[in-house]
Amino acid sequence: MTDQQAAIARHFADRFLHAIREKNAPVCVGLDPAIERLPKALLAKHAVDPGDTHGSAAVAAIHEFCREVIDVVAPHVPAVKINIAFFERFYAEGVRAYSSIVKHARDAGLIVIGDVKRADIGHSTAAYADAQLSDARPGRLPDGAIPDAVTVNPYFGFDGIEPFVRIAREQGKGLFVLVQTSNPSAGEVQGVVLSDGTQMSDHVGSLVQRWASAAGLVGSSGYSAIGAVVSPRDLPSTKRLRTLMPNCLFLVPGFGAQGRTAGEVAECFKPDGTGAIVAASRSVIYAYDGDAHKQAGASDWRCAVEAGCKEFVRAIRTVLSDR
Amino acid sequence: MTDQQAAIARHFADRFLHAIREKNAPVCVGLDPAIERLPKALLAKHAVDPGDTHGSAAVAAIHEFCREVIDVVAPHVPAVKINIAFFERFYAEGVRAYSSIVKHARDAGLIVIGDVKRADIGHSTAAYADAQLSDARPGRLPDGAIPDAVTVNPYFGFDGIEPFVRIAREQGKGLFVLVQTSNPSAGEVQGVVLSDGTQMSDHVGSLVQRWASAAGLVGSSGYSAIGAVVSPRDLPSTKRLRTLMPNCLFLVPGFGAQGRTAGEVAECFKPDGTGAIVAASRSVIYAYDGDAHKQAGASDWRCAVEAGCKEFVRAIRTVLSDR
């Protein structure tokens, strides 16, 4: 490996773009495992008591579900996003399962985004960054049990995420700063109009671009280790954010179940087809609950997940080829 | 107990105000335990290897430290705030220690604020609320291992915190929404000027007041189960926020080590002396490192922590009596 190849191998955005090209799929699958929606066969296998969805049997079922989903989607997508909230529900047992699933996904060759939405100030945010993003923990966790990147919250300004940035720089990791989210009340804060006529999400986008373009963070691909979570709200705001943040990979949640359409996510990409990673969660991981699957009459839930994943990848490829 | 007494006993803000009156101290002690700053005697007792500050020995030392600090401060203060970031650094072991410390503090009769700064959207934030604030987990954790209240982040708007509000209402719990924080770069987001000439923190404060004043959330004290994290920046902004949020208890971080002074925190209280809970962390829990302690020549670190705690309480009482 040349020095330049080694540098690319170490830079988060360069690695991500390489993985996207290999799979021809600028996407990731979101793992938000709710015990209530797991395949009935899996719940039965682990003897999950419907009246006790917080116990060890539930953790075991979720653990197996996530491992199986990862094995099924790994040939088709470059990355998974794992939401820690669904593991925190099980306290220590859940946190242990989260680390195990992160490792399983990384061992499967996937880029792993830990969807942790952390941030705090000073020593506290340093502790979060250490916990959630740093590999440098000799002997504490097995290799690969920490994600390649995490999501963080911008409300504290730069020093709220600075320790994450430091780890990204030193360890070839990444982060995605929340800019615009997909929930109904997001506009209450993110949509507020500022004195210059722009919106709060534009302002946060400008901040993120400034942070992202700092020395040493932009890889040979032109993208930074600092990306942005951008859920399309309307075409003008998406175009504006894409222009405001030329060095940022967009992590685009909400495709499928959260209602974002192909036309909406198209604007998250640059004209060359790079710049965004579209995430789908429920439409893939619970595909066995969907009408399409029921009509097809397939018996194994894994086949439905694989079909859902391939359908998702196809839809995003169509988005790009139709531009 | 009459029905009215029972209602007061169940409402978070009413309980908090009662506890403040009992101790004559509108304060809480922040537990942000950094292994590097623990008393040398305690590190030696647990044989913490200075080259491995992530291991089980470190967790055991932090666990004992927090229990001892709680026992020392419990006679003097109504509440503690426990920052989960310092426990997450130890993964599953750390999360288990966090629950144990929460329980120890609640068993000691203290109100416990879990400083978790969570928020997300939809099912994810419901999972966080379930994990961090809900007692309704039969058989999973011992009674009292979940805090009375937590801190949450407002960036998603109301639906990002709605599941926390629902639990607060149903279980007599509370939450404190971040409005203005004490870190140097807070102004990058919170200080942005809006089209009406106010600042982002004012806007968030107005939102929090609207959420806080909703039916069923305001107790007989006039304060809501939804409070606000407000770190004083300057006197005008503190006065403005105090006026904007009449139904909100302010959780005021940064007294002592983070540099907030008596005059600055005074404006967080209403004229009747209610409305704020001032938090101090490092100036109390690491008091044995301070010059005052070294000059006093006390040998036991617990004595220094108790002296630091009493000094903190005295300082806040002076703030109120000098108004």
The 10s digit of each residue's pLDDT in B152-162 is 999 999 999 99
- Beta pairing class for A250-252 and A226-230: parallel
Residue B26 structure tokens: 């509108």
B151 Cα to chain A: minimum distance (Å): 11
Q: Can you tell me the distance from the alpha carbon of B248 to that of B180, in angstroms, rounded to the nearest whole number?
A: 14
- Whether residues B124 and A137 touch (CB distance < 8 A) is answered with no
Q: Which of A23, A40, A81, A117 is catalytic?
A: A117
Q: What are phi and psi of A31, to 5 degrees?
A: -100, 100
Mutation for testing the A interface, residue in B120, B128, B229 having most A CBs under 10 Å: B120
Q: What number of residues does chain B have? A: 323
How far does B54 lie from chain A, in Å, by closest CA?
7
Q: What percent of chain B has pLDDT over 70?
A: 94
B259 pLDDT tier (thresholds 50, 70, 90): low
Is residue A285 a part of any domain in this protein? Answer: yes
Residue A213: which domain range? 3-32+77-321
- Strand boundaries in B68-138, DSSP class E: 79-83, 111-118
Q: Which of B119, B131, B190 minimises the CB distance to A89?
A: B131
Of B153, B194, B207, the CB nearest to A188: B207
**In the block, which residue shows the tokens 């971080």?**
B253
Domain count, chain A: 1
Closest CA to B63 of B91, B36, B93: B93
- In this complex, do A139 and B185 lie within 8 Å of one another by their Cβ atoms? no
| B140 has a pLDDT exceeding 80 | no
Strand partners, B111: B79
Comparing alpha-carbon positions, the chain B residue that sits nearest to A130 is B89
Judge contact between A121 and B182, C-beta under 8 A: yes
Report the gap between the CA of A8 and the closest CA in chain B (Å).
29
pLDDT at B262: 79
- Nearest chain A residue to B204 by CA: give it: A189
pLDDT over threshold 80, residue B7: no
pLDDT of residue B296: 66
Chain A residue with CA closest to B190: the answer is: A155
Q: What is the pLDDT of residue B317?
A: 95
For A136, the closest chain B residue by CA position comes to: B54
Residue B139 scores a pLDDT above 70: no
- Cβ distance A131 to B85 less than 8 Å, yes or no, reads yes
- Per-residue model confidence as pLDDT tens digits over B176-202: 999 999 999 999 999 999 999 999 999
Judge whether A45 lies within some domain: no
Identify which of A66, B119, A142, B93 has the alpha carbon closest to the alpha carbon of residue A58: A66
- Does the distance separating the beta carbons of B32 and A91 come in below 8 Å? no
Beta carbons of B89 and A186 less than 8 Å apart: no
Residue A117 bears catalytic tag: yes
Task: Find the CATH number of the domain harbouring B92.
Answer: 3.20.20.70
Q: How confident is the model at residue B258 (pLDDT cuts 50, 70, 90)?
A: low
DSSP A159: G
| pLDDT at position B238 over 90 | yes
d(CA A310, CA B1): 62
Closest approach of A272 to chain B, Cα-based (Å): 31
User: What is chain B's mean pLDDT, rounded?
Assistant: 93
- What does the block give as tokens for A72? 């099924």
Show the low-confidence residues of chain A (pLDDT under 50). Answer: none
Q: For testing the chain A interface, which of B141, B146, B152, B155 should be mutated: the one with the most A CBs within 10 Å?
A: B155
**Catalytically annotated residue among B23, B40, B81, B117:** B117
Is B86–A124 a contact, with Cβ atoms under 8 angstroms apart?
Answer: yes
Q: What pLDDT was estimated at residue A292?
A: 72
Candidates A103, A153, A161: best to mutate against B (most CBs of B within 10 A) is A153
Residue of B nearest to A35 (CA): B127
Task: With CB atoms and an 8 Å threshold, state whether A141 touches B187.
Answer: no
> What ipTM was predicted for this assembly?
0.96
CA dihedral A86, A92, A97, A99 (to 10 degrees): 100
User: What pLDDT score does B4 carry?
Assistant: 63
Any domain includes A65: no
Cβ count near A317 (within 10 Å): 15
Confidence category of residue B142, pLDDT binned at 50, 70, 90: confident
